[in-house]
Structure 1
Amino acid sequence: MEIVFTENNLLGDEPFTTDEVIAEYAEVKRTSVTRLIRKYLDDLKGVGKLGFQIRPSDSGQKIKIYHLNEQQATLIITYLDNTEPVRRFKKMLVEQFFIMKQELMKRQIIREMEKPVRKGLTDTIKEYMPDDKWAYGNITRLLCKTVTNHNPKQLKELRNAKNSHSLMDVLTSEEFESYQSLEQKVVTLIELGMDYYKIKEVISRKE
Protein backbone atom coordinates (compact mmCIF):
# COMPACT_ATOMS: atom_id res chain seq x y z
CA MET A 1 0.00 0.00 0.00
CA GLU A 2 1.20 3.52 -0.80
CA ILE A 3 0.79 6.09 1.95
CA VAL A 4 3.71 8.41 1.20
CA PHE A 5 3.93 10.34 -2.07
CA THR A 6 5.89 12.95 -3.98
CA GLU A 7 4.36 15.76 -6.00
CA ASN A 8 5.75 14.74 -9.40
CA ASN A 9 8.24 11.97 -8.60
CA LEU A 10 11.01 14.45 -9.29
CA LEU A 11 14.42 14.58 -7.72
CA GLY A 12 14.16 17.26 -5.04
CA ASP A 13 10.47 16.69 -4.28
CA GLU A 14 9.62 16.49 -0.58
CA PRO A 15 7.74 13.31 0.42
CA PHE A 16 4.31 13.84 1.96
CA THR A 17 1.19 12.07 3.13
CA THR A 18 -2.36 13.42 3.22
CA ASP A 19 -5.09 14.00 5.78
CA GLU A 20 -7.14 11.37 3.91
CA VAL A 21 -4.43 8.75 4.39
CA ILE A 22 -4.03 9.61 8.07
CA ALA A 23 -7.78 9.33 8.64
CA GLU A 24 -8.10 6.04 6.78
CA TYR A 25 -5.19 4.19 8.37
CA ALA A 26 -5.48 5.69 11.84
CA GLU A 27 -9.16 4.77 11.68
CA VAL A 28 -10.47 8.17 12.64
CA LYS A 29 -12.87 10.56 10.92
CA ARG A 30 -11.26 12.81 8.32
CA THR A 31 -13.04 15.80 9.89
CA SER A 32 -11.16 15.03 13.11
CA VAL A 33 -7.84 15.19 11.27
CA THR A 34 -8.65 18.40 9.39
CA ARG A 35 -9.88 19.96 12.63
CA LEU A 36 -6.50 19.22 14.23
CA ILE A 37 -4.68 20.64 11.20
CA ARG A 38 -6.60 23.91 11.46
CA LYS A 39 -6.19 24.05 15.25
CA TYR A 40 -2.43 23.53 15.14
CA LEU A 41 -1.78 25.34 11.86
CA ASP A 42 1.03 27.48 13.31
CA ASP A 43 2.78 24.40 14.70
CA LEU A 44 2.60 22.68 11.32
CA LYS A 45 3.84 25.71 9.40
CA GLY A 46 6.74 25.88 11.85
CA VAL A 47 8.17 22.65 10.39
CA GLY A 48 7.52 23.31 6.72
CA LYS A 49 5.13 24.68 4.14
CA LEU A 50 1.69 23.09 4.45
CA GLY A 51 0.68 22.05 0.96
CA PHE A 52 -2.75 21.15 -0.33
CA GLN A 53 -4.70 20.36 -3.47
CA ILE A 54 -8.30 21.09 -4.39
CA ARG A 55 -10.26 18.32 -6.03
CA PRO A 56 -13.93 17.41 -6.54
CA SER A 57 -15.48 14.91 -4.13
CA ASP A 58 -17.82 12.10 -5.13
CA SER A 59 -20.70 14.48 -4.56
CA GLY A 60 -19.17 17.01 -6.94
CA GLN A 61 -18.21 19.51 -4.26
CA LYS A 62 -14.64 20.78 -4.08
CA ILE A 63 -12.60 19.61 -1.10
CA LYS A 64 -9.15 20.61 0.17
CA ILE A 65 -6.69 17.73 0.59
CA TYR A 66 -3.80 18.64 2.87
CA HIS A 67 -0.26 17.50 2.08
CA LEU A 68 1.83 16.97 5.21
CA ASN A 69 5.56 16.36 5.30
CA GLU A 70 7.06 13.85 7.72
CA GLN A 71 7.34 16.25 10.66
CA GLN A 72 3.84 17.63 10.11
CA ALA A 73 2.30 14.15 9.86
CA THR A 74 4.15 13.08 13.00
CA LEU A 75 2.81 16.11 14.87
CA ILE A 76 -0.79 15.38 13.85
CA ILE A 77 -0.43 11.74 14.90
CA THR A 78 0.84 12.77 18.33
CA TYR A 79 -2.32 14.88 18.73
CA LEU A 80 -4.52 11.84 18.06
CA ASP A 81 -5.53 9.37 20.76
CA ASN A 82 -2.88 6.67 21.16
CA THR A 83 -5.05 3.82 19.91
CA GLU A 84 -3.78 0.58 18.38
CA PRO A 85 -4.63 1.67 14.79
CA VAL A 86 -2.83 4.99 15.36
CA ARG A 87 0.29 3.23 16.69
CA ARG A 88 0.22 0.75 13.81
CA PHE A 89 -0.19 3.52 11.24
CA LYS A 90 2.63 5.58 12.78
CA LYS A 91 5.01 2.64 12.33
CA MET A 92 3.91 2.20 8.69
CA LEU A 93 4.34 5.91 8.04
CA VAL A 94 7.85 6.05 9.50
CA GLU A 95 8.88 3.06 7.36
CA GLN A 96 7.47 4.50 4.14
CA PHE A 97 8.93 7.96 4.68
CA PHE A 98 12.30 6.27 5.24
CA ILE A 99 11.97 4.20 2.05
CA MET A 100 10.96 7.26 0.00
CA LYS A 101 13.83 9.37 1.35
CA GLN A 102 16.29 6.54 0.68
CA GLU A 103 15.05 6.34 -2.92
CA LEU A 104 15.47 10.09 -3.44
CA MET A 105 18.92 10.03 -1.82
CA LYS A 106 19.97 7.11 -4.02
CA ARG A 107 18.83 8.99 -7.11
CA GLN A 108 20.87 12.03 -6.05
CA ILE A 109 24.01 9.92 -5.50
CA ILE A 110 23.60 8.15 -8.83
CA ARG A 111 23.09 11.47 -10.56
CA GLU A 112 26.35 12.82 -9.18
CA MET A 113 28.12 9.63 -10.26
CA GLU A 114 26.58 9.94 -13.72
CA LYS A 115 27.99 13.40 -14.47
CA PRO A 116 31.43 12.20 -15.62
CA VAL A 117 29.78 9.47 -17.71
CA ARG A 118 27.57 12.04 -19.43
CA LYS A 119 30.58 14.28 -20.02
CA GLY A 120 32.34 11.25 -21.47
CA LEU A 121 29.46 10.67 -23.87
CA THR A 122 29.39 14.33 -24.90
CA ASP A 123 33.16 14.41 -25.49
CA THR A 124 33.08 11.12 -27.40
CA ILE A 125 30.31 12.39 -29.69
CA LYS A 126 32.26 15.59 -30.35
CA GLU A 127 35.40 13.62 -31.19
CA TYR A 128 33.96 10.76 -33.21
CA MET A 129 30.75 12.25 -34.66
CA PRO A 130 31.58 15.95 -35.19
CA ASP A 131 29.41 16.30 -38.29
CA ASP A 132 26.26 14.81 -36.79
CA LYS A 133 24.65 17.72 -34.92
CA TRP A 134 21.67 15.55 -33.96
CA ALA A 135 23.72 12.72 -32.48
CA TYR A 136 23.49 13.72 -28.82
CA GLY A 137 19.72 14.32 -28.93
CA ASN A 138 19.07 11.14 -30.88
CA ILE A 139 21.17 9.03 -28.53
CA THR A 140 19.52 10.56 -25.44
CA ARG A 141 16.07 9.75 -26.85
CA LEU A 142 17.23 6.24 -27.74
CA LEU A 143 18.53 5.54 -24.25
CA CYS A 144 15.43 6.97 -22.59
CA LYS A 145 13.12 4.97 -24.86
CA THR A 146 15.09 1.78 -24.25
CA VAL A 147 14.98 2.18 -20.47
CA THR A 148 11.45 3.56 -19.94
CA ASN A 149 9.56 2.80 -23.19
CA HIS A 150 8.99 6.55 -23.56
CA ASN A 151 10.99 9.36 -25.12
CA PRO A 152 12.04 12.21 -22.78
CA LYS A 153 9.08 14.44 -23.70
CA GLN A 154 6.56 11.64 -23.16
CA LEU A 155 8.20 10.65 -19.86
CA LYS A 156 8.08 14.19 -18.50
CA GLU A 157 4.42 14.52 -19.45
CA LEU A 158 3.65 11.14 -17.88
CA ARG A 159 5.32 12.22 -14.61
CA ASN A 160 3.91 15.75 -14.62
CA ALA A 161 7.33 17.33 -15.06
CA LYS A 162 8.07 20.56 -16.90
CA ASN A 163 10.10 20.66 -20.10
CA SER A 164 12.71 22.64 -18.17
CA HIS A 165 13.33 19.65 -15.89
CA SER A 166 16.29 17.48 -16.74
CA LEU A 167 15.65 13.91 -17.84
CA MET A 168 17.78 12.89 -14.87
CA ASP A 169 15.25 14.55 -12.55
CA VAL A 170 12.45 12.19 -13.55
CA LEU A 171 14.19 8.81 -13.74
CA THR A 172 13.83 6.43 -10.80
CA SER A 173 17.03 5.06 -9.28
CA GLU A 174 16.49 1.74 -11.07
CA GLU A 175 15.94 3.47 -14.41
CA PHE A 176 18.93 5.71 -13.71
CA GLU A 177 21.25 2.74 -13.23
CA SER A 178 20.03 1.10 -16.45
CA TYR A 179 20.42 4.38 -18.31
CA GLN A 180 23.96 4.87 -17.04
CA SER A 181 24.93 1.33 -18.00
CA LEU A 182 23.64 1.84 -21.55
CA GLU A 183 25.32 5.24 -21.74
CA GLN A 184 28.70 3.65 -21.00
CA LYS A 185 27.99 1.00 -23.63
CA VAL A 186 27.20 3.68 -26.22
CA VAL A 187 30.52 5.42 -25.56
CA THR A 188 32.31 2.17 -26.41
CA LEU A 189 30.20 1.64 -29.56
CA ILE A 190 30.93 5.16 -30.79
CA GLU A 191 34.66 4.63 -30.22
CA LEU A 192 34.36 1.45 -32.32
CA GLY A 193 33.18 3.63 -35.20
CA MET A 194 29.46 2.82 -35.18
CA ASP A 195 26.96 5.41 -36.39
CA TYR A 196 23.62 6.12 -34.74
CA TYR A 197 21.67 3.49 -36.67
CA LYS A 198 24.15 0.73 -35.85
CA ILE A 199 24.17 1.82 -32.20
CA LYS A 200 20.36 1.73 -32.18
CA GLU A 201 20.42 -1.78 -33.58
CA VAL A 202 22.83 -2.97 -30.90
CA ILE A 203 21.11 -1.16 -28.01
CA SER A 204 17.66 -2.32 -29.04
CA ARG A 205 18.61 -6.00 -28.91
CA LYS A 206 17.25 -7.87 -25.94
CA GLU A 207 19.96 -8.85 -23.47
Structure 2
Amino acid sequence: MKDLAFLTSPDMSKTEVVTNHVVIAQYAGLNKISVRKLIDNNKQDLEDLGILSFEMTKPIKGSTGGRPTKIYQLNRNQAMLLITWLDNTEPVRAFKLALVKRFDELEKTIQTWTKERAAEKATTRSLTDAVQNWEHTNPHAQSNFRKLLTKCATGLPYTKVQARGDKGVPMVDLLTAEELQKYKRLKALVIPLLDFGEEYNDIKATLEKYATKKAETTTETA
Protein backbone atom coordinates (compact mmCIF):
# COMPACT_ATOMS: atom_id res chain seq x y z
CA MET A 1 0.00 0.00 0.00
CA LYS A 2 2.58 2.48 -1.22
CA ASP A 3 0.10 5.33 -1.64
CA LEU A 4 -0.90 5.56 2.04
CA ALA A 5 1.86 8.07 2.79
CA PHE A 6 4.39 9.88 0.64
CA LEU A 7 7.37 12.24 0.64
CA THR A 8 6.67 15.95 0.25
CA SER A 9 9.69 16.68 -1.94
CA PRO A 10 12.25 14.95 -4.17
CA ASP A 11 14.86 17.03 -2.29
CA MET A 12 15.77 14.46 0.35
CA SER A 13 17.44 17.07 2.56
CA LYS A 14 14.09 18.80 3.11
CA THR A 15 11.45 16.14 2.54
CA GLU A 16 8.95 14.95 5.15
CA VAL A 17 6.56 12.01 5.33
CA VAL A 18 2.88 12.91 5.16
CA THR A 19 -0.50 11.50 4.24
CA ASN A 20 -3.64 13.45 3.38
CA HIS A 21 -7.28 13.51 4.37
CA VAL A 22 -8.40 12.04 1.03
CA VAL A 23 -6.26 8.94 1.58
CA ILE A 24 -7.57 8.59 5.13
CA ALA A 25 -11.17 8.87 3.93
CA GLN A 26 -10.64 6.39 1.10
CA TYR A 27 -8.99 3.64 3.14
CA ALA A 28 -11.13 4.14 6.24
CA GLY A 29 -14.29 3.88 4.14
CA LEU A 30 -15.44 7.42 4.91
CA ASN A 31 -16.67 10.47 3.01
CA LYS A 32 -13.73 12.77 2.23
CA ILE A 33 -15.82 15.91 2.79
CA SER A 34 -16.77 14.68 6.26
CA VAL A 35 -13.12 14.04 7.10
CA ARG A 36 -12.14 17.48 5.82
CA LYS A 37 -14.83 19.12 7.97
CA LEU A 38 -13.57 17.15 10.97
CA ILE A 39 -10.15 18.70 10.38
CA ASP A 40 -11.65 22.18 9.93
CA ASN A 41 -13.46 21.85 13.25
CA ASN A 42 -10.34 20.72 15.12
CA LYS A 43 -7.58 22.77 13.51
CA GLN A 44 -6.13 24.05 16.77
CA ASP A 45 -5.48 20.56 18.13
CA LEU A 46 -3.85 19.47 14.88
CA GLU A 47 -1.74 22.62 14.63
CA ASP A 48 -0.35 21.88 18.10
CA LEU A 49 1.34 18.89 16.44
CA GLY A 50 2.86 20.79 13.52
CA ILE A 51 2.00 23.04 10.60
CA LEU A 52 -1.32 22.00 9.05
CA SER A 53 -0.50 22.35 5.37
CA PHE A 54 -2.75 21.85 2.38
CA GLU A 55 -2.73 21.97 -1.40
CA MET A 56 -5.41 23.16 -3.79
CA THR A 57 -6.21 20.82 -6.67
CA LYS A 58 -7.91 22.05 -9.81
CA PRO A 59 -10.91 20.29 -11.42
CA ILE A 60 -10.00 17.58 -13.92
CA LYS A 61 -9.30 19.04 -17.35
CA GLY A 62 -12.34 18.71 -19.60
CA SER A 63 -14.82 18.43 -16.73
CA THR A 64 -17.63 20.96 -16.53
CA GLY A 65 -17.79 23.31 -13.55
CA GLY A 66 -16.27 22.50 -10.20
CA ARG A 67 -14.03 24.47 -7.88
CA PRO A 68 -10.49 23.86 -6.63
CA THR A 69 -10.44 21.34 -3.79
CA LYS A 70 -8.49 21.77 -0.55
CA ILE A 71 -6.53 18.66 0.43
CA TYR A 72 -5.00 18.67 3.91
CA GLN A 73 -1.57 17.11 4.39
CA LEU A 74 -0.94 15.52 7.77
CA ASN A 75 2.26 14.40 9.48
CA ARG A 76 2.37 11.16 11.47
CA ASN A 77 1.13 12.62 14.76
CA GLN A 78 -1.62 14.64 13.09
CA ALA A 79 -2.81 11.59 11.16
CA MET A 80 -2.84 9.40 14.27
CA LEU A 81 -4.78 12.04 16.22
CA LEU A 82 -7.32 12.39 13.42
CA ILE A 83 -7.84 8.63 13.32
CA THR A 84 -8.64 8.59 17.06
CA TRP A 85 -11.62 10.83 16.26
CA LEU A 86 -13.04 8.27 13.83
CA ASP A 87 -15.27 5.34 14.73
CA ASN A 88 -13.20 2.29 15.65
CA THR A 89 -14.44 0.16 12.77
CA GLU A 90 -12.58 -2.77 11.23
CA PRO A 91 -11.54 -0.75 8.13
CA VAL A 92 -10.26 2.08 10.35
CA ARG A 93 -8.21 -0.32 12.52
CA ALA A 94 -6.73 -2.06 9.47
CA PHE A 95 -5.92 1.27 7.85
CA LYS A 96 -4.23 2.64 10.97
CA LEU A 97 -1.92 -0.39 11.16
CA ALA A 98 -1.04 -0.14 7.46
CA LEU A 99 -0.46 3.61 7.74
CA VAL A 100 1.90 3.23 10.70
CA LYS A 101 3.94 0.67 8.74
CA ARG A 102 4.12 2.94 5.70
CA PHE A 103 5.25 5.92 7.81
CA ASP A 104 7.91 3.70 9.39
CA GLU A 105 9.10 2.58 5.96
CA LEU A 106 9.44 6.09 4.54
CA GLU A 107 11.00 7.53 7.69
CA LYS A 108 13.58 4.74 7.58
CA THR A 109 14.30 5.70 3.96
CA ILE A 110 15.00 9.29 5.04
CA GLN A 111 17.20 8.13 7.93
CA THR A 112 19.21 5.87 5.61
CA TRP A 113 19.63 8.71 3.13
CA THR A 114 20.77 11.08 5.90
CA LYS A 115 23.49 8.65 6.99
CA GLU A 116 24.65 8.10 3.41
CA ARG A 117 24.69 11.85 2.76
CA ALA A 118 26.81 12.46 5.85
CA ALA A 119 29.28 9.83 4.66
CA GLU A 120 29.29 11.33 1.15
CA LYS A 121 30.06 14.80 2.53
CA ALA A 122 33.07 13.40 4.37
CA THR A 123 34.68 12.45 1.05
CA THR A 124 33.62 15.51 -0.96
CA ARG A 125 36.72 17.47 -0.02
CA SER A 126 38.94 14.57 -1.06
CA LEU A 127 37.35 14.40 -4.51
CA THR A 128 37.61 18.17 -4.96
CA ASP A 129 41.29 18.10 -4.05
CA ALA A 130 41.95 15.09 -6.27
CA VAL A 131 40.37 16.79 -9.28
CA GLN A 132 42.25 20.03 -8.62
CA ASN A 133 45.55 18.15 -8.40
CA TRP A 134 44.80 15.87 -11.36
CA GLU A 135 47.46 16.29 -14.05
CA HIS A 136 44.76 16.55 -16.74
CA THR A 137 42.54 18.96 -14.84
CA ASN A 138 40.65 21.74 -16.63
CA PRO A 139 37.99 24.35 -15.74
CA HIS A 140 35.18 21.84 -16.36
CA ALA A 141 36.73 18.84 -14.62
CA GLN A 142 34.86 19.18 -11.31
CA SER A 143 31.50 19.43 -13.07
CA ASN A 144 32.28 16.66 -15.55
CA PHE A 145 33.25 14.16 -12.88
CA ARG A 146 30.15 14.89 -10.78
CA LYS A 147 27.96 14.43 -13.84
CA LEU A 148 29.74 11.19 -14.65
CA LEU A 149 29.32 9.90 -11.10
CA THR A 150 25.65 10.82 -11.16
CA LYS A 151 25.04 9.01 -14.43
CA CYS A 152 26.86 5.88 -13.27
CA ALA A 153 25.09 5.86 -9.89
CA THR A 154 21.59 6.35 -11.29
CA GLY A 155 21.74 5.05 -14.84
CA LEU A 156 20.22 8.37 -15.90
CA PRO A 157 21.58 11.47 -17.64
CA TYR A 158 22.53 14.25 -15.24
CA THR A 159 19.77 16.47 -16.65
CA LYS A 160 17.08 13.92 -15.76
CA VAL A 161 18.30 13.74 -12.18
CA GLN A 162 18.29 17.55 -12.00
CA ALA A 163 14.70 17.55 -13.26
CA ARG A 164 13.58 15.70 -10.12
CA GLY A 165 13.72 18.92 -8.09
CA ASP A 166 13.80 22.67 -8.25
CA LYS A 167 16.62 24.59 -9.88
CA GLY A 168 19.54 25.13 -7.54
CA VAL A 169 19.00 22.03 -5.40
CA PRO A 170 22.31 20.15 -4.99
CA MET A 171 22.26 17.12 -7.24
CA VAL A 172 23.20 14.66 -4.48
CA ASP A 173 20.15 15.78 -2.48
CA LEU A 174 17.97 14.42 -5.29
CA LEU A 175 19.43 10.91 -5.19
CA THR A 176 17.66 8.07 -3.41
CA ALA A 177 19.42 6.40 -0.49
CA GLU A 178 20.42 3.48 -2.74
CA GLU A 179 21.72 5.79 -5.47
CA LEU A 180 23.63 7.87 -2.94
CA GLN A 181 25.32 4.77 -1.56
CA LYS A 182 26.41 3.79 -5.07
CA TYR A 183 27.57 7.37 -5.79
CA LYS A 184 29.74 7.25 -2.67
CA ARG A 185 31.33 3.93 -3.68
CA LEU A 186 32.04 5.17 -7.20
CA LYS A 187 33.54 8.38 -5.87
CA ALA A 188 35.90 6.36 -3.69
CA LEU A 189 36.97 4.54 -6.85
CA VAL A 190 37.59 7.76 -8.80
CA ILE A 191 39.96 9.41 -6.32
CA PRO A 192 42.89 6.95 -6.63
CA LEU A 193 42.48 6.92 -10.43
CA LEU A 194 42.84 10.70 -10.43
CA ASP A 195 45.85 10.46 -8.14
CA PHE A 196 47.48 8.03 -10.59
CA GLY A 197 46.94 10.51 -13.43
CA GLU A 198 44.56 8.35 -15.47
CA GLU A 199 42.92 10.15 -18.39
CA TYR A 200 39.22 11.05 -18.28
CA ASN A 201 38.09 8.49 -20.86
CA ASP A 202 39.90 5.69 -19.03
CA ILE A 203 38.31 6.72 -15.72
CA LYS A 204 34.92 6.94 -17.42
CA ALA A 205 35.29 3.44 -18.87
CA THR A 206 36.29 2.04 -15.47
CA LEU A 207 33.31 3.62 -13.71
CA GLU A 208 30.84 2.53 -16.38
CA LYS A 209 32.17 -1.02 -16.27
CA TYR A 210 31.92 -1.13 -12.47
CA ALA A 211 28.44 0.42 -12.45
CA THR A 212 27.19 -2.05 -15.08
CA LYS A 213 28.70 -4.99 -13.21
CA LYS A 214 27.04 -3.93 -9.95
CA ALA A 215 23.70 -3.50 -11.73
CA GLU A 216 23.93 -6.99 -13.25
CA THR A 217 24.83 -8.49 -9.87
CA THR A 218 21.84 -6.78 -8.25
CA THR A 219 19.49 -8.08 -10.97
CA GLU A 220 20.76 -11.65 -10.60
CA THR A 221 20.37 -11.48 -6.82
CA ALA A 222 16.81 -10.19 -7.16
Name the % identity. Answer: 33
In 1, Cα distance between the equivalents of 2:121 and 2:20? 35
In 1, Cα distance between the equivalents of 2:90 and 2:135? 64
TM-score w.r.t. length of structure 2: 0.87
**Correspondence 1:38 to 2:40:** yes
**Correspondence 1:26 to 2:28:** yes
1:43: Cα distance to partner?
0.9
In 1, Cα distance between the equivalents of 2:162 and 2:80? 32
Deviates more, 1:136-145 or 1:3-12: 3-12
Unaligned regions of 5+ residues in structure 2, if any? 214-222
Residue identity opposite 1:33 in structure 2: V
**Correspondence 1:107 to 2:113:** yes
In 2, Cα distance between the equivalents of 1:115 and 1:170? 14
**Correspondence 1:49 to 2:58:** no
Distance change in 2, residues 1:156/1:111 (3 Å): same
Residue number in structure 1 paired with 2:160: 154
Query: How many equivalent pairs are there?
Result: 205
TM-score w.r.t. length of structure 1: 0.93
In 2, Cα distance between the equivalents of 1:110 and 1:102? 12
| Alignment counterpart, residue 73 of structure 2, candidates 58, 67, 78 | 67
| Alignment counterpart, residue 97 of structure 1, candidates 79, 103, 121 | 103
In 2, Cα distance between the equivalents of 1:6 and 1:98? 12
In 1, Cα distance between the equivalents of 2:106 and 2:135? 40
**Correspondence 1:195 to 2:196:** no
Unaligned regions of 5+ residues in structure 1, if any? none
1:9: Cα distance to partner?
2.6
Residue number in structure 1 paired with 2:10: 9
1:42: Cα distance to partner?
0.9
Q: CA RMSD in A?
A: 1.6
